[in-house]
Amino acid sequence: MSSHLNLNPLRRGLLCLLTMLVITFPRQSDAQVDIEALRSEDPPDGYSGSVGSNLTVRTGNVDFIQLGLNARLFHVNDLVSTLVVGNGGLGLLGKSRFASSGLLHYRKTYLYNRQISPEWFGQLNYDRSQRLDFRMVLGGGARASFAQGDWGEFGMGASLVLEHEALNLPEDAIHPDNTNTFRWSSFLTLRVVPTEDFVITSTTYLQPAYNDFSDLRTLGKIRIATPVTDELALTVSFNLRYDSGPPDGTSPLDTTLRTGITFIY
């Protein structure tokens, strides 16, 4: 699963193109996004990355199609690690679109030492199923690794985040349709590698508003991956998202179970 091949210029250009295409082809996801699950445990120096997809088709009483795509690009040197993530997807019920979303995330992590690494990030995304027309996030903080070895890695991170959201709400909605909020964002992550052919990743985020801890967002994800070949891996993931103050007409709790396949460059 952790095998990567350095990208030649053609592959690098292809991955960049796919990343941008994924942004324009939205994916059903949460307004909160677990970027930790998309990081690589040990990306090689230079360029590397992966492209993945998942598909659900149901026919009979209900014609249902859901397609998701994702791409990530790494650039690593002795001083800094750069990560670009793009996600997109589309859900169709009959011939009508019922869900769509898109994401672009950019992050720089500075390799200060093996225990603590400062970082900053920016993100743009939208999510039709969450009534989210536009979301912009800017933040900075640090991550720490408590323990790591051949078995995997255990770590945490914390940052201060500025979040802007524009929502598509009815005129009589209680929730404001435009908000600007500073949030504390912290996470715990555990990556376990029982064998070379089996990787388990677990991440939990807590994101309260800096001046009101009752305004809380929580995100949890468990992801299991096993390689089919050196460049193909099967994945199964379970996502849980909670928002203590969701927009009108949306549930505070969402859960998703997803299977897919990933192509690793």
CA dist., res. 164 & res. 133, Å (int) = 11
The three-state (H, E, C) secondary structure of 161-208, written as one string: EEEEEEECCCCCCCCCCEEEEEEEEEEEEEEEEEECCEEEEEEEEEEE
**Residue 161: its pLDDT value, please?**
94
Residue 227 has pLDDT above 90, yes or no: no
Which band of pLDDT confidence, cut at 50, 70 and 90, is reported for residue 32? Answer: low
Res. 42: pLDDT tops 90: no
- pLDDT tens track for 53-109: 877 665 655 566 777 888 889 999 989 999 999 988 887 776 666 667 888 999 999
Contact 172, 249 (CB under 8 A): no
Which pLDDT belongs to residue 109? 92
Residue type, 76: V
Cβ-based neighbours of 259, under 8 Å, separated by 6 or more: 54, 234, 235, 236, 237
Tell me the chain's radius of gyration from C-alpha atoms.
Answer: 18
13, 239 in Cβ contact below 8 A?
Answer: no
Higher pLDDT, 91 or 41: 91
Q: Who has greater pLDDT, 265 or 48? A: 48
% of the chain at pLDDT higher than 70: 77
3 state DSSP class of 107: strand
Average the pLDDT over 193-201 and give the result. 86
What's the CA gap between 258 and 237, in Å, rounded?
5
- Beta-strand (E) ranges in 59-131? 64-76, 80-93, 96-110, 116-127
Residue 21 belongs to what H/E stretch?
Answer: helix 9-24
Please check whether residue 154 is in contact with residue 189, taking contact to mean a CB–CB distance below 8 angstroms: yes
How far apart CA 199 and CA 191 sit, in angstroms, is 7
C-alpha to C-alpha distance for 72 and 105, rounded to whole angstroms: 9
pLDDT value at 176 more than 80: yes
The SS3 of residue 127 is strand
Q: Report which of residues 38 and 130 the model is more confident about.
A: 130
Residue 8 has pLDDT above 90, yes or no: no
Consecutive H or E run containing 17: helix 9-24
